[in-house]
Amino acid sequence: MSNSKIKSNLRIPIVSNLAAIMYIIIRWELNPLARTSTWFLITVGLALFILLLTYYICFWRTGLWKYTHEKVDKLDERELAENNRALRFSYSVFSILVLSMMLIYVLAEVTISIIPVVLLIYLAHVLPGVYLGFRK
């Protein structure tokens, strides 16, 4: 399999994974009253299924999750440098994202609920893998 094929194979599920996170957060926060409707449960359930499936495809099966969560003494110098770059990227993206979200929440005068918080924590953990998945 060519390198570009591997890249595109991983890029599509990664984008789907991030899109599923975004979709769940937006749907959850946009209309709190609709959270018990059948349509809401179906669409959010489907997004959650896509999220779990693409997590398995992109981060679990490829070993990216384990690689980005490996203990420092188990990595060699190249892997450490690679992980370092991925973490730097994640830190920058996550900081900007969280600050933007905080600003939106303050301006909209709403309180953040547990679901977006959980998804943001998940995002913080997969972002180094996203970086590596896109580059490899």
Partner 1 sequence: METRKIYNRIALLRQERRLSRKELAERIGVNFQTVGYLEREEYNPSLDLAFRISEVFKVPVDFVFSTSPMRPMSEELMNKNK
Give residues in contact with partner 1 (CB under 8 A): 75-79, 81
CB of 78 to partner 1, least distance (A): 5
Nearer to partner 1, 12 or 79 (CB): 79
CB of 71 to partner 1, least distance (A): 14
Nearer to partner 1, 6 or 104 (CB): 6
Nearer to partner 1, 44 or 80 (CB): 80
Q: CA 136 to CA 120: how far, in whole Å? A: 24
Nearer to partner 1, 29 or 70 (CB): 70
CB of 16 to partner 1, least distance (A): 27
CB of 38 to partner 1, least distance (A): 48
